[in-house]
Amino acid sequence: MNTAGDVGTARTPRDGTTVLVVDDQQLVASTLTYSLRDNGLDAHYLVVTDLEAVQTAALAYLPGIVLLDLDLGAGAGGEPLDGVDLIVPLRAQGWTVLVISGTTDLDRITAAVAHGAANWVVKGANFPELFATLVDLTHGRGHLPPAERATLINRYQEVLATHRKNAERLEALSPREREVLSRLTEGATAANIAAETHTSIRTVQTHIHRILTKLEVSSQLAATAIAVRHRSPAPPIKPSVWRRMRGVRGGATSQAPSQAP
What is the DSSP secondary-structure string of 15-66?
TT-EEEEEES-HHHHHHHHHHHHHTT-EEEEEE-S-HHHHHHHHTTS---EE
* CATH 3.40.50.2300 is the classification of domain 18-156: yes
The pLDDT mean for the chain works out to 83
The sign of the torsion formed by the CA atoms of 132, 133, 139, 143 equals: positive
3-class DSSP state for residue 249? strand
pLDDT tens by residue, 203-228: 999 999 999 999 999 999 999 999 98
**pLDDT reported for residue 180:** 94
The domain defined by 174-253 folds into Arc Repressor Mutant, subunit A (1.10.10)
Instruction: Answer left, alpha or beta for residue 250, where phi above 0 means left and psi between -120 and 50 means alpha.
Output: left
- Taking the C-alpha atoms of residue 173 and residue 169, their distance in angstroms, rounded to an integer, is 7
Whether residue 106 is predicted with pLDDT greater than 70 in this model: the reply is yes
**pLDDT reported for residue 14:** 59
Comma-separated ranges of CATH 3.40.50.2300 domains in the chain: 18-156
Whether residue 63 is predicted with pLDDT greater than 80 in this model: the reply is yes
Whether residue 95 is predicted with pLDDT greater than 60 in this model: the reply is yes
Kindly list the distances between the CA atom of residue 32 and the CA atoms of 13, 14, 42, 257, in Å, as whole numbers in the listed order. Answer: 16, 19, 12, 64
Model pTM score:
0.69
**Higher pLDDT among residues 105 and 73, named by residue:** 73
Of the ranges 123-137, 183-197, 243-257, which one carries the lowest mean pLDDT score? Answer: 243-257
Comma-separated ranges of CATH 1.10.10.10 domains in the chain: 174-253
- Taking the C-alpha atoms of residue 125 and residue 136, their distance in angstroms, rounded to an integer, is 16
3-state helix, strand, coil in the chain (%, to 5): 50, 15, 35
pLDDT tens by residue, 110-147: 999 999 999 999 887 788 889 999 999 988 888 999 99
Contacts for 248 with CB less than 8 Å, ≥ 6 apart: 254
Contact 81, 75 (CB under 8 A): yes
pLDDT tens by residue, 163-172: 889 999 999 9
**pLDDT reported for residue 126:** 86
**pLDDT reported for residue 212:** 95
